[in-house]
Amino acid sequence: MAQATKNVIVTGAARGMGAAVVRKLAKRGANVVAVDREPKGLKALKDELAGQPGAVETVTADAGSASDVKAYVEHAAKRFGGVDGIFNIAAILGEFRPIAESSNEGFDEVIRVNTKSAWLGMKYAIPHMIARGGGAIVNTGSYLAWHGCELLGPYNASKHALVGLTKTAALEYAKHNIRAFILCPGSMDTQMNIDTAAGFNPKNTEEGLRQLAASTATGRVADPNDVATVGCFLLLDAPLQMTGTLIPIDGGRSAM
């Protein structure tokens, strides 16, 4: 079912897991529209990948803004002749506070960036995938998409909601050959992991990092490239009968 060249949108693309995904897709020959709010990171990534089999277009945008999402989806469709997939990665942690001490504004922003962004991406990309005869959606969840965690209530809620959205998309659009997945990493060697460690252990970030690694069965955090490899498989290679699934990559933590 795979076409020779796929055209994919990746949000949260300027660094970490998002940048790793763009690198792998471009090297595989996929054309990528890389989206982020950080123009410097996007430029560096585009310069790095010049000459790869797949073309990389960069767009500085807010993935939680309906007008921005509609614009970059339309740009991708026009630039590459269609959209075959979207990988929604953009996310923020939000406040580290108990529920009763969390701010209304903080909750709204986490839901906007983490959940509404994926909903918007699907909303505007799905019609283009239908026009192409199928496609793939990968939403980025978390180990916390089906577990609780103190101090990160809004983040937990945003990722739990993504599970429901992804499963709904899989059911609604399977007849159009569109597959939908939610990829659920545990701790990764990224800036967000450092921020997480600092949030849980503000007096000793290094100890917080050790604690995050120790919470896995493997005793280490994931390399973003490992998670990106699975995400690219879901976008480019997974069969039609594989859809609506939650895929943990959390060092065995979900088995503990």
Catalytic residue list: 155
Please choose, from the candidates 70, 6, 4, the residue with its C-alpha nearest in 3D space to the C-alpha of residue 35: 70
Give the integer Cα–Cα distance in Å for 64 and 116.
6
∠ at Cα 76 (16, 121), nearest 5°? Answer: 65
Give the integer Cα–Cα distance in Å for 145 and 229.
20
